Amino acid sequence: MNGKRRSILRFLVPVAALVAVAVVATALSERSLVYSDIRQSSLLPVAPQMIHAEATLVCQAGAEVTLGTQLAGQIKHVFVKEGDHIRAGDLLVELVASEEQAALSEARARLAQAEIETHYQQSRLDRFKQLSQYGYLSKDQFERAQFDADEAASQAVIARASVARLAAELRKAKILAPFDAVVVKRMINEQETVNPGTPVLRIADLGRTWVEAQVDELDAARVHVGAKSNVGIEGYPGQLWPGEVVYVAPELGPRTELSNDPAEPDRAEVLTVRIKMLAPTPFKLQQRLEAAIVPGPDPIARSGSSF
């Protein structure tokens, strides 16, 4: 019997030790969960999480345009290439405009002839006025001279308008820079034949850009104008550029930028937010960026509402 008791005791002692260890571990785990719940409760302040969003660099309204032709014809010369800096008024592209130039020369010749005729008829009218005062001309003769002078003046006006119209048409053969910019894309080459409306160059003022971010709809209520932000880009690990939110869309819209993070929900509706960069950046137009925005106060927590 003594031997059996010793065997039972040798079996029960380790079991009891294991049970005691399990009880202690369970108590510590529950205690840790309680502390975690306290930390996550509203009793202790919790720093707001940054709002992360996919973004891209875009031009502001009117800062990027595509220039096109207004005439049909052949490209005579392209004076710029992609990447060139241009100034307002610079000649960028010129079309062959032989017919337009010939028409303008002909109109100018007709104008010169009309002005000569006008001068002649006005001088004739002045002489007839003097003769009429002394009774050497009849009323019908004087009125006829007046009519001839008026008609010559009208023809000169028409010729002058024709010259102005053809000159304006000829100016369409030259494409000028509308503002200071950089040539982003060149779509045509010399000797190509184009039609009216053919795009030839895309230019952009890179001094007027902002970062356009797409904020998830769940974070939409926490974004406000004036919020600080940081923007990063692949290839510059650990480096961020400061910015400030200058525009928050009044409504949600369709997502156009897809996240690279498979864990991030791919919701169709997002809030468009525009960020003004506060320092020079190496960003390129349409380049994929990552924006982190400092959120504003939670409107639900601030009002004390709960679901």
Amino acid in the structure at residue 131: L
pLDDT-derived band of residue 255, with 50, 70 and 90 as boundaries?
A: confident
Ramachandran class of 302: left when φ > 0, alpha when ψ lies in -120 to 50, beta otherwise: alpha
Q: What is residue 238's predicted lDDT score, i.e. its pLDDT? A: 84
The yes-or-no verdict on residue 134 having pLDDT over 90 is no
Lowest-pLDDT range, 280-284, 293-297, 301-305?
A: 301-305
- Judged against a pLDDT cut of 50, whether residue 4 lies above it is answered with no
Mean pLDDT of the chain: 82
CATH architecture, domain defined by 51-61+207-303: Beta Barrel (2.40)
Side-chain-side CA neighbours of 162 within 13 Å: the count stands at: 19
CA 1 distance to own-chain centroid: 95
Architecture of domain 97-172: Orthogonal Bundle (1.10)
pLDDT tens-digit map of 217-251: 888 999 999 999 999 998 888 899 999 999 999 99
- The pLDDT value given to residue 34: 35
pLDDT at 151 over 90: yes
Of the two residues 289 and 307, the one the predictor is more confident about is: 289
CA distance 67 to 225: 34
Locate all alpha helices (DSSP H) within the chain, ordered by sequence.
Answer: 2-40, 98-133, 139-171, 299-303
What is the pLDDT confidence band of residue 10, given thresholds at 50, 70 and 90?
low
Torsion sign (Cα): 263, 265, 271, 272: positive
Instruction: Decide yes or no: CATH 2.60.40.1940 for domain 73-95+175-205.
Output: no
CA atoms lying within 13 Å on the CB side of residue 70 = 11
Residue 28 has a pLDDT of 42
Specify the pLDDT at position 180. 96
